[in-house]
Amino acid sequence: MRYKLLAVAMTLCAGSLALVAQRPLADVGPDYPIRPVPQAQVDITDEFWARKLEANRTVSIQHVFDRSEERGGRAPAQLIEAAGDMLSKRPDPALEKRVDDLIERIAAGIDARGSDPEAAIRTQGTFLEAAVAYYQATGKTRALEAAIKAANAIDASYGPGKKTYISGHEGLKIGLISLYRQTGDTRYRDLAKFFLDERGKDDYPRQGEYALDRTYAQDHAPVVKQSEAVGHAVRATYLYIPLADIAALTGRPEYLQAEDRIWTDAVFRKTYVTGAIGSIRFHEQFGAPYELPNLSAWGETCASYGNVVWNHRMFLLHQDAKYLDQMERVLYNGFLDGVSQKGDRFFYQNPLTSYGNYERFDWINTPCCPPNVVRLIASLGRYVYATQGDEVYVNLFVGSTARLGSEGRRTVLRQETRYPWDGQVRIAVDPDAPRRFSVYVRIPGWTAETVTPGDLYRFTDRARESPTIAVNGKTLALRTANGFVKIDRQWQAGDTIEMRLPMPIRRVLADPRVRDDEGRVALERGPLVYAAEWPDNGGHALNIAVPDRAPLTSEFRSDLLGGVEVITGPVEAVVRTAADASVRTRPHRLVAIPYYAWANRGMGEMQVWLPRTADKARATPIVPPRPIATVASSGGIEKKWTGYNDQNDDIAAVYDGATPLSSADESNLYFRMRPAVGQPAWVEYDFARPVSISSSEVYFADDRRFCKLPTSWRIVYKSGDAWKPVVARDAYGVAKDRFNRVAFDAVTTTAVRIEVEPVTRHYRTGEIGPPEAMFLARDIDWREFGLIEWRVK
Ligand SMILES: [Zn+2]
């Protein structure tokens, strides 16, 4: 039966790209109560998104194809899904050829491997998911047939009573469930559930880092017993998405309850105001509750992709708009900043503060994020509307036309809006014949008192104005349930819903347990989080303070960043005088831009969480405290380990005058070195003329992860051509979380160095020991230490 169904669908649609009716999904029994309106039935027409979709189609997808292929590699499977969505909107023979060639390469690989399950299981779930999406969009069957072949091979060897497998990456389940929804073949659903249930059991041999830290891949406990968002954040969302699916497909409460517990933990304690998740560099993982550093914020773009999809699934499961509020927050902020305005540069990390040494990349060695950006933007239509029988949900405010329902019961919705700049939304509801049904319109939580569900963030003021909603000019009482206004009436052609969402500028504060945000305020307007960036603020952004009473206004600037609403107002800036390095406060005209638009004008300072008082602002220009070096340099160690664009890591850290919060303070710059065994590690100050010095204070980094306190250190100074140790009067301490001060007999010199002996640790176990046997033999010694600050007097 299941094959028959698929065969019928294939015959009808094979080779036809012409017009996209939704390819029938199998009637699969219990599933989400609400269904998204397929992307093919939604045309996006507004200023804001239509342009982004066009850049995505003409620039971004080509960029990802080009960069993947020019290194002899293969473009990622996500592009198949994205291309399908694009082709369902307009013919593009060149793109179609390119993606069909890609499908052919992947499918031929699957054919060649026959039914080798070991190979098939490593066919990332993204291909299975993409194959279904491509078939849905284009009717072409090559990818889908290959996906079925791969899934069947896996099913033949894995499952209850057969082999088990716990993948380090969790996307396979998403793909299997897509395949089940398409074909109705329950084997794929059952296999997805099997893999989900196996996770966290102890009878499967784990290897390498998966064995050492099982939270890394959410493998520390059976999924139904999990309660916290932990481990690698992208992997986490790739688990929570199919967990929602399995909850919907089985109706079993233990899945739903686990999902709700995890979501609550993530949203109430571990999400940035931009909606980004996975705050910690080490293992790209969720931090501890409230551990949300701004400068080192990881917030991978892929995790934002997953977070959008996860929250969408949570809405389909619970029919509650709070999940859509969260989805919108991620989409417009922590996700959208992942791609440049032109569409050809991408972020991997999405920090909330920049000292000016960070920008989007053209390409990197781990290019996971760009294809996720491309596929989410291409599929945006899928997230705008949903239906339950005849009932219609308006989830996002995006100018668009949606064709809903089936023959004889069609309704066309036309949404017009300047969102996110303006909260006026007009929705024409046009049924093919007069009919009674309900339209549910989301009223975002930010129009009232909810920044995000829970207490992690709060507005400083109460909303002064309420949204209004009218049908055919007649105002309705604003009664919401689960975040929606329900409009139940006899609809007929020409009916119009008019809504107004007031968009005042709101100030946001974080829970005091978020140390990095203490004494700071974030600015929002509508769904957008704002940031101060250097080009609009006299070359700096970290020196700005926004007093609570400063009146803020907004205005639209069509000439800026493709047209953005900016927030402006009289605030303060602190400056350090060149003459004596003293700090003073002067009036400043703030210009804040939407966060998503930062880093499109070169590298420079940026800040989301702005100090409320001048004492928290960072005086610029940075002048080293006196008497200090004119130049600092390091021990000549090439910093080739910085695989990612690690913007915390800068030699300026040692002399920037900052006093860190702790040795693990990721809100400040630090300077890290990874010398090999036997290689010297030093940092040097050079003085313009001889100075007399007699003490030194050093604050070491210890981030509890990579970077450890050193074994020992000492001060040497330049005497003629030689370096001589100073005569220390104190022991050289290596204490954590404070300055280690040493006084010594005064020397007069033109250069001074700190020489450091780092500890050697085993890369995986963290075990500390002598380097020779254990470490060097396996070539995995790990010697990283860092300075957050070093002062000499
Ligand atoms: Zn990524």
Q: Around 225, how many Cα atoms within 13 Å sit in the side-chain half-sphere?
A: 10
CA of 352 to the centre of ligand 1 (A): 17
| Cα-to-centroid distance, 369 and ligand 1 (Å) | 4
Amino acid at 733: G
Q: How far is the CA of 302 from the centre of ligand 1 (A)?
A: 4
Say how many Å lie between the CA of residue 74 and the centre of ligand 1.
Answer: 17
pLDDT of residue 72: 81
Whether 775 shows a pLDDT value over 60: the answer reads no
Residue 590 pLDDT: 98
Residues 478 and 416 sit within 8 Å (Cβ to Cβ): no
Lowest mean pLDDT among 127-131, 278-282, 549-553: 278-282
Q: Closest Cα partner for 116 from 148, 90, 82, 153?
A: 153
Cα of 416 from ligand 1 centre, angstroms: 33
- Report the distance separating Cα 33 and Cα 61, nearest Å: 33
- 754 against 499, higher pLDDT: 499
* Dihedral sign (CA 450, 451, 452, 455): negative
In this prediction, residues 525-547 reach a mean pLDDT of: 97
Query: Which residue has 């054919």 as its token pair?
Result: 111
From the CA of 236, how far away is ligand 1's center (Å)?
13
**Which of these, 692, 647, 542, 756, lies nearest to 281 by C-alpha position?**
647
pLDDT over 50 (residue 5):
no
Cis peptide before 453 (omega within 30 of 0): no
Q: Is 484 or 660 the better-scoring residue by pLDDT?
A: 484
CA 619 to chain CA mean position, Å = 30
Rounded distance between C-alpha atoms, residue 29 and residue 150, angstroms: 24
Q: Greater confidence, 541 or 119?
A: 541
Cα separation, 337 vs 595, whole angstroms? 7
| 411 bridge partner residues | 404, 431
**Tokens 């009223």, located at residue:** 443
Distance of CA 543 from the midpoint of ligand 1 (Å): 31
Q: Is 225 helix (H, G, I), strand (E, B) or coil?
A: helix
> How high is the pLDDT of residue 209?
59
Tell me the one-letter amino acid at 244: A
Q: How far apart are CA 660 and CA 702, in angstroms?
A: 12
How far is it, in rounded angstroms, from Cα 761 to Cα 765? 8
Q: Are 566 and 532 in contact (CB under 8 A)?
A: no
Ligand 1 centroid distance, CA of 349 (Å): 8
Percent with pLDDT over 90 in the chain: 68
Identify whether the C-beta of residue 682 lies closer than 8 Å to the C-beta of residue 690: no
How remote is the CA of residue 124 from the centroid of ligand 1, in Å? 15
In the chain, the amino acid numbered 433 is: A
What are the pLDDT digits (tens) for 86-112?
Answer: 999 999 999 999 999 999 999 998 888
**Pairwise CA distance, residues 652 & 632, whole Å:** 8
Q: Distance between CA atoms of 603 and 356, rounded to whole angstroms?
A: 5
> Could you report the per-residue pLDDT of 172-193, keeping only the tens digit for each?
999 999 999 999 999 999 999 9
pLDDT at 120: 75
Distance 347 CA to ligand 1 centre (A): 9
CA of 708 to the centre of ligand 1 (A): 27
pLDDT value at residue 4 = 35
CA–CA separation, 776 vs 773, rounded Å? 6
pLDDT in tens, 494-513: 999 999 999 999 999 999 99
CA–centroid distance, 73 to ligand 1, in Å, is 17
Residue 525 corresponds to which amino acid?
Answer: R
Q: Strand 610-611 relative to strand 520-525: parallel, antiparallel, unpaired?
A: antiparallel
Report CA(367)–ligand 1 centroid distance (Å). 7
Ligand 1 centroid to residue 338 C-alpha, Å? 10
Spacing, Cα 227 to ligand 1 middle (Å): 24
Confidence at residue 547, expressed as pLDDT on a 0 to 100 scale: 98
Q: Answer yes or no: is pLDDT of 542 > 50.
A: yes
Across 219-232, average pLDDT: 96
Dist. CA 750 → ligand 1 center (Å)? 46
Quote the pLDDT of residue 757. Answer: 87
Q: Give distance in angstroms: CA of 303 to centre of ligand 1.
A: 7
Residue 486's contacts (CB-CB under 8 Å, 6 or more residues apart) are 438, 439, 440, 479
pLDDT at 684: 86
Poorest-confidence range of 148-157, 423-432, 660-669? 660-669
The Cα-based distances of 13 to 26, 39, 71, 135 in angstroms read: 15, 17, 35, 9
- pLDDT for the residue numbered 776: 40
How far is ligand 1, taken at its centre, from the CA of residue 139, in Å?
A: 29
What is the pLDDT at residue 643?
34
Residues, CB within 5 angstroms of ligand 1 (ion): 300, 302, 368-369
Percent residues over pLDDT 70 in the chain: 88
Distance 560 CA to ligand 1 centre (A): 29
CA 32 to ligand 1 centroid distance, Å: 28
Give the rounded distance of the alpha carbon of 288 from its chain centre: 17
Residue 566 has pLDDT above 60, yes or no: yes
In the three-class reduction of DSSP (H, G, I as helix; E, B as strand; rest coil), residue 228 is classed as: coil
Q: Give the pLDDT confidence score for residue 228 in this predicted structure.
A: 98
Cα 155 to averaged position of ligand 1 atoms, centre (Å): 29
> Is residue 354 within 8 Å of residue 369, measured between CB atoms?
no
Q: Residue 44 C-alpha to ligand 1 middle, in angstroms? A: 26
CB 691 within 8 A of CB 748: yes
- DSSP H or E stretch at residue 312: helix 301-318
C-alpha separations of 481 from 321, 395, 443, 451, 601 in Å: 9, 14, 10, 18, 43
Centre of ligand 1 to C-alpha 301, Å, is: 6
Question: Which of 616, 641, 667 has the alpha carbon at shortest distance from 780?
Answer: 641
Amino acid identity for residue 559 in this structure: D
**Residue 211 C-alpha to ligand 1 middle, in angstroms?**
23
Quote the ligand 1 centre to 188 CA distance (angstroms): 27
Distance, CA 84 to ligand 1 centroid (Å)? 21
Label residue 618 by pLDDT band (50, 70, 90): confident
Q: Within the chain, what is the greatest distance between any pair of CA atoms?
A: 95
Return d(Cα 296, Cα 193) in angstroms, integer: 36
DSSP H or E run through 789: strand 785-792
- For ligand 1, the distance from its centroid to the CA atom of residue 370, given in whole angstroms, is 7
Per-residue pLDDT band for 131 (boundaries 50, 70, 90) equals very high
Report which DSSP code applies to 776: G
4 CA from centroid of ligand 1 (Å): 38
DSSP character string of 674-725: -PPTT---EEEEEEEEEEEEEEEEEEEE--SSS----SEEEEEEEETTEEEE
Q: If you measure from the C-alpha of residue 234 to the centroid of ligand 1, how many angstroms do you get, rounded to a whole number?
A: 8
CA atoms of 299 and 693, how far apart (whole Å): 43
pLDDT tens-digit readout, 620-633: 654 444 334 444 55
- How many angstroms is it from 216 CA to the middle of ligand 1? 16
Rounded to the nearest angstrom, the distance between the alpha carbon of 361 and the centre of ligand 1 is 12
> How many alpha carbons lie under 13 Å from residue 327 in its C-beta half-sphere?
24
Say if residue 82's pLDDT is above 60: yes
CA 136 to chain centre: 27
Spatial separation of the C-alpha atoms in residues 270 and 333, rounded to whole Å: 16
pLDDT (0 to 100) of residue 258: 98
Radius of gyration of the chain, Cα coordinates, nearest whole angstrom: 28
Identity of the residue numbered 505:
I
pLDDT band at 169 (very low <50, low <70, confident <90, very high): confident
